[in-house]
Amino acid sequence: MRPKLVLKDLLMLGFQKFLKSSSIHLKVQGDRTLSTGKNPVIIPVIDLEAIDKDPVKRRGIVDKVRDASETWGFFQVINHGIPAGVLEEMGAGVRRFFEQDIEMKKIFYTRDATKKFVYNSNFDLYTAPVANWRDTFFSYMAPYPPKPEELPEACRDTMMEFSKQVTSLGISLFGLLSEALGLKTDHLEKMDCAEGLALISHYYPACPEPELTLGTSKHSDNDFLTVLLQDQIGGLQMLHQDQWIDIPPVPGALVINIGDLMQASFSFISIFKSE
């Protein structure tokens, strides 16, 4: 039988050393890459406050989005329209779910990705060469949203409100990206780029041997666009010109990542490149 306990629960039960087994193993030291820190670089932080108020300022914002997408594939946005309270409650809701009693969580544990709400450790735990040090839940919130009763009570209302707000922001961002590409504002929206929404939340328990693992290993996002809410602890990095760059948290900001599908959607995909 495959285990139904995830990392946080194993730690609570007293497991303080890594288990060397054929099915659960850890990130090897040779694959651990850190920022050099010698030349600190800050990815662009773009203020969206005027996008619907002033055409001249909007053009300036479009230029900044284009430059950030061409150069980095990442940028942060502030004054994005999502209330600070919604962001704070989303973080609190994630913690409520992961920090509740094991018996409350285990009814949602599954490795069946077709379920409306999926809670486990690593989704590819039994196929990947290494495991990340994290627990995760995810749910497809659009285009076919789950019923409220299919979501955990600990974060149900929070997930639904946050998803509604992010969908609205996503449409605005796709409008800016369309204009940055020289297209009509609604071009990407009409391509249904904003139709789907997967909400993924990671929880990183304290690690007894942090030098042996990573919370999330090197990857790219296989979507059109990722809207990422960081906590204030930090740790997020991006690969830029073969160097890992820290993306420090900015209070109230959201990190925007140009995804793989956005790159593949255009003949000039080299313009929008992120790793």
Q: What is the pLDDT of residues 227-262, one digit of tens each?
A: 999 987 777 888 777 888 888 889 999 999 998 887
What is the domain-level CATH number for residue 182? 2.60.120.330
pLDDT at 49: 95
Q: What is the mean pLDDT of residues 25-40?
A: 49
pLDDT at 51: 95
Establish how many alpha carbons lie within 13 A of residue 65's alpha carbon, considering only the half-sphere containing its beta carbon.
26
Does residue 20 or residue 195 have the better pLDDT? 195
Let me know if residue 77 belongs to a domain: yes
Let me know if residue 4 belongs to a domain: no
Most confident of 30-44, 124-138, 142-156: 142-156
Residue 124: pLDDT over 70: no
Global pTM reads 0.81
Q: Is 115 helix (H, G, I), strand (E, B) or coil?
A: coil
Question: Could you give the C-alpha distances from 31 to 26, 170, 211, in angstroms and in order?
Answer: 11, 33, 11
Tokens 């003949």 found at: 267
Residues 6 or more apart from 156 whose CB is under 8 A from it? 148
| Beta-bridge partners for 238 | 245
Residue 221: pLDDT over 80: no
Q: What does DSSP say about strands 135-142 and 197-203: parallel, antiparallel, or unpaired?
A: antiparallel
Q: What is the mean pLDDT of residues 89-101?
A: 96
Structural domain count, the chain:
1
Let me know if residue 28 belongs to a domain: no
Let me know if residue 70 belongs to a domain: yes
Q: At what angle do helices 55-71 and 156-180 cross, to 10 degrees?
A: 90
Let me know if residue 30 belongs to a domain: no
Let me know if residue 128 belongs to a domain: yes
Q: What is the mean pLDDT of residues 49-61?
A: 95
Let me know if residue 19 belongs to a domain: no
pLDDT at 2: 47
Number of helices (H), then strands (E), in the chain: 7, 9
Residue 177: pLDDT over 70: yes
Expressed as residue numbers, the domain containing 245 is 38-271
pLDDT at 172: 98
pLDDT at 13: 43
Tokens 């919604």 found at: 86
Let me know if residue 242 belongs to a domain: yes
